[in-house]
Amino acid sequence: MMRKAIYLVPLVLVVLAGAVGWMLGNSVGSESTKADIGAPIVYNAKVCVYKNGELITCKPNVLTNAGKELIEAYLAQEGLGPTSLTPVKYIAVGNGTAPSASSTSLDSEITDCGLARAAGTYSDQGVGNWSFSHTWTCECDGVTVSTTGIFNASSGGTMFAGMSFNPSTLYSDDQLTVTWYINVTEAGS
């Protein structure tokens, strides 16, 4: 038993020395990293979808990589003139694959049957909180919807975020309401 302890002590000391060395090399005097610049901003959002006033789903969405780049461009004004800041307020619905971080468009976006992309109505929900909402009235029978995305243009543009939900079939005169609730806060707040 004593022989095992003799071999374990140097091993533990080497691991501890390596950990301490790593911490010292990555703290005081090291180059700045993303974590060194202050408290990070956190994006939180959920999307609620209603059919004829009844909740279908209300859950978080996926912030796309293009959406992250758009935030950077808006905040840094990099490559944007003061008049080119187009709000991310256009809501689309579709029936394709679930959006992911690498999505740049909404797969199988619906552009007919009264369900085309539309500007959402803005509502201030308090400091760092806002929402965009739109209600469509379906003009066709048997239209399946299962995804939504929010964009900075009425067509094309950058898909900021997207979400999938359980498919719902709409018929003429059914109403579909999609509300994007967005919250930006400091991490840990």
Q: What pLDDT, in 10s, does the model give residues 128-186?
A: 889 999 999 999 999 999 999 999 999 999 999 999 999 999 999 999 999 999 988 77
Positive or negative, the CA dihedral 145, 150, 152, 158 is negative
Q: CA distances (Å), 167 to each of 42, 93, 126, in order?
A: 29, 11, 32
pLDDT average, residue stretch 22-33: 38
Tokens read off for 68? 């992250």
Residue of 96, 102, 166, 176 whose CA lies nearest to 134: 176
Write out pLDDT tens, residues 93-144. 999 999 999 999 999 999 999 999 999 999 988 888 899 999 999 999 999 9
